[in-house]
A and B are shown apart, each in its own frame.
Chain A
Amino acid sequence: DQQVKQNSPSLSVQEGRISILNCDYTNSMFDYFLWYKKYPAEGPTFLISISSIKDKNEDGRFTVFLNKSAKHLSLHIVPSQPGDSAVYFCAAREGGSEKLVFGKGTKLTVNP
């Protein structure tokens, strides 16, 4: 049973445009959400996070939105750059636990 789902395996956008990556979850006990970026043969790199008491968090070009009622979060990258091309993972955590539950990832390609 997949508790964190990223339904789009891939996404292609033009440089300078907005990239929107989506993530849905089923476990209502999740209260902290993180986005990681991963290149092949490397470990995931932390990008941005949001707690369940917020609905938006921004860090430079990256913004994460959380809709608790819909159990949905999204990562917006504006403007997208070719260096953003990577696999993006959504992860969720429950009540102070260190255990992260990951989605299967979305491969983002930003075309010059």
Chain B
Amino acid sequence: KAGVTQTPRYLIKTRGQQVTLSCSPISGHRSVSWYQQTPGQGLQFLFEYFSETQRNKGNFPGRFSGRQFSNSRSEMNVSTLELGDSALYLCASSPGGGGYYNEQFFGPGTRLTVL
């Protein structure tokens, strides 16, 4: 099976712009989660989508949003970019269908730099 793919891999934006990142989960996986990794805060949970519905949300401002399509692919959007949004954004997928001990498998990430 192909793994989790994320596009683009690298992105440079300026403050105030918005950005959209994309994630394609492993075939058959219906749950997609997003994480932000920064040197200071480590890996932090943004949100999780399952069957096109947001099931769980972390403590991030409303500038961070996401959605999931019927084919389980997901996008996340960050509006009004700030310098502090520079980070590695990671997507993870799992079957998500109620299997209690599902592992999450991560994509390679999108490195976002805000200038």
Contacts and interface: CB of A to CB of B under 8 A. Distances in A.
A43 B107 contact: yes
Interface stretch (B62-70, B71-79, B92-100): B92-100
B43 A99 contact: no
Given A43-B4, A43-B90, A103-B42, A98 B105 contact: no
Interface in B21-69: 31, 33, 35, 42-45, 48, 50, 55-56, 58
Contacts of A100: 33, 35, 43, 45, 92, 104
Interface string A20-36: 00000000000010101
Contacts, number: 65
Interface range on chain B: under 10, 10 to 19, 20 to 34, or 35 or more?
20 to 34
Interface of A: 32, 34, 36, 41-46, 49, 51, 89, 91, 96-105
A98 B43 contact: no
Contact of B45 (A32, A44, A101): A101
Given A32-B101, A49-B101, A51-B101, A43 B55 contact: no
Mostly, the B contact residues are: strand
10 contacts: A32-B100, A43-B109, A46-B103, A46-B106, A51-B101, A99-B58, A100-B33, A100-B92, A101-B45, A102-B43
B48 A99 contact: yes
A100 B47 CA distance: 10
B99 to A, nearest CB: 9
Given A100-B33, A100-B45, A49 B106 contact: no
Contacts of B92: 43, 100
Contact of B31 (A34, A43, A98): A98
